Amino acid sequence: MVGFIRGSHGFEGECKVESSSGEYEHIAKLEQVTLRHGDQTKEVKVESASLAHNTVYLKFKGIDSDEAIKKFNRWELVVPRKYAKPLKKDEWYITDLQNCSLVWNGDPALSDAPAAEEVVGTITDVLEGGAGYLLEVSLSESCTCISDDIKFTASGKPRTVLVPFNNEHVGKVDVVNGTVQLMHLWILE
C-alpha cells in the first residue's frame, strides 16, 4: 500500500492522495494501481498525476466526475513492491511486520545467563498513533512469561495490546525470520 484517497479535487474525477510513507514522487510516477477497501478491489490506470505540497493529485482512466471518485474516498492504493517507496535502513513495509512473532528474551539485568526467546504474541497490524507507529499485538495463549489475567480479556478471549514501535520498546526487527524483539515486558500489562 502506497497511499490513501483523501477526497476529490475539482469536478473531473481527480483525487487527492496521501502517501503512507510521507514521500510522493514514486506515487506520481505510477501508471496503474489497485484501489482496495477491505475485500473490495478495483484495478485502475493512472491518466495523470501532479505533485503538490504533502499530496499528489491523481486522475484515473474511466473515473470522470467528482461524484464517481468520491465513492473511493479512504480507499488504499496498492502496487507491487517494486513500485513502492524504496526502504532505508531501519524501515520496513507494514505487510512484512504483520504476522511476525513478538519475542521476549528476558531481562538481562536479572541474570547473567542469556534467556531463552519466548513468543509473547503475534503482530496483527501497524497503526499510526499521534506520537508514532503502534504495533497491534495479539497476545500468545501459550506464553509462560506473562500471566493469564494479562493474556486474556474478562470474557476469556486472547487480548490485543498496542506496543509503541520505537527504539525504547522494540529491539531487533528480523522480518526474514519473522521476529520482532520486545524490550520491556511491562508494556503488555
Q: Give the pLDDT band (50/70/90) at residue 159.
A: confident
pLDDT at 99: 93
Burial of 113 (0-12, 13-18, 19+ CB in 10 A): exposed
67-116 pLDDT per residue, tens = 999 999 999 998 888 887 778 888 888 888 999 999 998 765 544 445 67
Q: In terms of pLDDT, which residue wins out, 1 or 40? A: 40
**Residue 60 DSSP SS3:** strand
Q: Where are the beta strands (DSSP E) in the chain?
A: 3-9, 14-19, 32-37, 40-52, 55-60, 76-78, 101-104, 118-129, 132-139, 160-164, 170-174, 179-182
Cell, residue 17 = 492522495
Strands ordered across the beta sheet of 179-182: 160-164, 132-139, 118-129, 101-104, 179-182, 170-174
Model-level pTM?
0.68
Nearest to 164 by CA among 150, 184, 144: 184
Question: Which residues lie closer than 8 Å to 62 by C-beta, 6 or more apart?
Answer: 44, 45
Domains of the chain in sequence order: 3-83 (2.40.30.60), 94-188 (2.30.30.240)
11-60 pLDDT per residue, tens = 999 999 988 777 888 889 999 999 999 899 999 999 999 998 888 999 99
